[in-house]
Amino acid sequence: MVGDETAPIRRPRAILFDWDNTLVDTWATIHEALNFLMRAMEKPEWSLAETMERTRLSLRDAFPPLFGERWEEAREIYLGRFREIHLDRLSPLPGRERLLRALAEEGMFLGVVSNKTGELLRREVARLGWSDFFGSIVGAGDAPADKPAPEPVHLALSPSGVPPSEEVWFVGDTAIDMECAKNSGCIAVLLGNTAAPEEFARFAPRLSFADGTGLFQLLEGLRFGATRPSS
């Protein structure tokens, strides 16, 4: 389903968030676990810039091209190291807890759709004490396919009663998130300013915010039936 790119933006009935580097800062943890894996597999280590550029897909989609028949072994090595370090290094991005709390208190349905393995994702949400903010928490492996496929969005919205549509905003920090939003007919919202503009040449966001404050201010402006022209 493809929405009308010229239609006015209205306040959503549900918001789905990506997790890594949209709500929490996890680049250093991902980078360390990946290079631990690269050393174990006798492959060249990646720079942090390479990690930030290449880690978009779920492990089941990303690892077979990298490791061939050994991809499942590579997955277990990576997950083993990640489990050892991720909770101690978990760090919310500035203002994100305040944003989520305010939206949840207004009764907005919130969900998470991430390409992080579902078990690890839910452990991180619980560690931060954020589980009550979300009506659903969907990670890699929970749906038949992972982002950018639409299946995780359908699963995340299933408790809400809101169908995938322009009544749903999908908020993320990468082109994979924008592609997932468009594949599911939701409004693509970019949060953060760390990505290179060329990443979004094929899948541009409908809305873009440097921080959570700007996102919340627009949502409040739309709260009483106002509309904003689509960008």
Q: Mind listing the pLDDT tens digit for each residue in 11-56?
A: 999 999 999 999 999 888 989 999 999 999 999 999 988 887 888 7
Task: Give the 3-state DSSP-derived string for 78-116, with helices as H, strands as E and coil as C.
Answer: HHHHHHHHCCCCCEECCCHHHHHHHHHHCCCEEEEEEEE
Locate the DSSP E strands across the chain: 14-17, 24-25, 91-92, 109-117, 136-140, 168-172, 187-191, 207-209
Residue 215 CA to residue 151 CA, distance in Å, equals 25
Residue linked to tokens 């207004």:
106
Give SS3 for 14: strand
pLDDT of 196: 67
Q: Mind listing the pLDDT tens digit for each residue in 134-189?
A: 999 999 999 999 999 999 999 999 999 999 999 999 999 999 999 999 999 999 99
Give SS3 for 48: helix
Give SS3 for 144: coil
Q: Which domains are present in the chain?
A: 14-25+93-221 (3.40.50.1000), 27-85 (1.10.150)
Residue 153: C-alpha distances to residues 64, 163, 178, 216 (Å): 24, 9, 12, 22
Residue 197 CA to residue 194 CA, distance in Å, equals 9
